[in-house]
Amino acid sequence: MTLKRLVARDLSFDGIRTEFALPAEFGSDVQRDAEQAVDRHHGERVDRTDLGLVTIDPPGSRDLDQALHLERTTNGYVLHYAIADVAAQIEPGSALDLEARQRGETIYLPDGSVPLHPSVFSEGSASLLPNEIRPAALWRIETDDDANPVNWSVQRALVKSVLQLTYREAQDAADAGHSHPAITVLAEFGRKRRDLGLARGAIELNLPSQEVVRGRSGEWELAIEARTETDGWNAQISLLTGICAAQIMLDGDVGILRTLPPADGDARRWMRRTADALGLPWVNDIPIGSQLAALDPCATTTLAMMTQATTLLRGASYLVFDGNRPDDQAAQHAGIAAPYAHVTAPLRRLGDRFATEICLALSAGTPVPQWARDGLADARSSLLSSNTLANKVEKACVDLTEATVLAPQKGQTFDSAVLRGAEKKRPAEVFVTDPPILARCEGDPPEGQRAKLSLREADPDSRTVLFGFPADGS
């Protein structure tokens, strides 16, 4: 459901590409490797093209990392989750390998991505496109009736997706009661997994999608949309797989985990103050994750709450270990309330290739390839730097669009909720109701209250939006 569309014309993101020195086209040697990629483990694979897997992705996606098949059993569920086997198709030390290690991850801009791999590979031979037989790392996860995992493994297989769905298509089918057989029980399974996470203390940010897209008439739009329930259910499949992968690597004393320290007291206090400012109920004794999960996904105030909740997840990193299992606290991801690893997006994220290869070896009882062990530290470094870059680029694109949209309205008055009052060296932070954006504000607006503000600056060149209090500028 679309909450808001803000229209901006004559936008160009070329300046952002230049400013952040984003990589240009791939070199001829990298392109050649991508075009000539072959499955080095073809002879080892089991044939599971019988599974009838389904992919669920955003509209227009071609780099399809994951395909799933979920079924009910007499005492629980069985999940088959196919992940593109990127490691089997990239020769260690090749130009394609070295370029991916430099890039770290795919960076997305509204007018096109800066991909981790050439499109002939990530959107072609390695992608789990419908009706194509592809090499995959196939996870098999058995759970009990409450969706707790009781047994899991991963092996190399040949698979075939039989249907590509968007989140909206999957949601509409679920609402109508005629989901594809591969995902008929996805809703009930996803809800059980979510409830288990909330009971552990997990924090799920159901952040409304804030995306710059090209409209039907060619203009650019900042589309703010509530995510479908299917988004959350599908995410639970990936989270479960990452939890199982982390356990495999911890038991094997080698791997790379995604980690996050617990939020500090200040971040939790700001959540309470934000709720007060927005007029939302907040109870200190109820876990934050449960309260966030109860928010109306179609309310614009949820955008403010969920954005503020990202402060609870600051400090995410990667932990590499080889030979010494980390202690429980160091291995934890506080947002998931469990050890966790990235393994489900190898076409778009470098570390998943290494973690998946390690899990395949440990699950099979074979030695972990030396290239996977030796590359862990460099992969971690690349992931940290590329993740920081991707976040900066995404923010720059949204900031540019917001400034362009608001520029003609300079001097006008806007209603807002004051989330954070002004401090010595930091302006106040406000949530403007219409259009729904978070912004800085000059003056000293009353923290935790509603306030009328004037738009004092909206500069596309500097990508700056600044409001002022009081509204008349006096």
Give the position of tokens 């997990």: 202
Q: What is the arithmetic mean of pLDDT over 335-343?
A: 96
Non-local (6+) Cβ contacts of 87 within 8 A are 346, 353, 354, 356, 357, 372
pLDDT confidence of 1, banded at 50, 70, 90? very low
Q: What is the pLDDT of residues 399-425, one digit of tens each?
A: 998 898 899 999 999 999 888 888 878
Quickly list DSSP for 279-317: T----TTS-HHHHHHTS-TT-HHHHHHHHHHGGGGTT-E
Amino acid residing at 121: F
Burial class (CB in 10 A: 0-12, 13-18, 19+), 99: buried
Residue 331 clears pLDDT 50, i.e. is over it: yes
Residue 363 clears pLDDT 50, i.e. is over it: yes
Non-local (6+) Cβ contacts of 320 within 8 A are 255, 256, 376, 377, 379, 380
Q: What is the arithmetic mean of pLDDT over 54-75?
A: 95
CA 369 → CA 101, 351, 360, distances in Å?
A: 17, 15, 10
What residues form DSSP beta bridges with 415? 452
Q: What is the pLDDT of residues 109-123, one digit of tens each?
A: 888 889 999 999 999
By the 8 A CB rule, do 338 and 246 touch?
yes
Q: What is the arithmetic mean of pLDDT over 335-341?
A: 96
Q: Tell me, what's the pLDDT at 209?
A: 62
User: Average model confidence (pLDDT) for the chain?
Assistant: 91
What residues form DSSP beta bridges with 78? 71, 142
pLDDT confidence of 293, banded at 50, 70, 90? confident
Residue 237 clears pLDDT 90, i.e. is over it: yes
50-59, 126-135, 250-259, 264-273: least confident range: 264-273
Q: Tell me, what's the pLDDT at 302?
A: 78
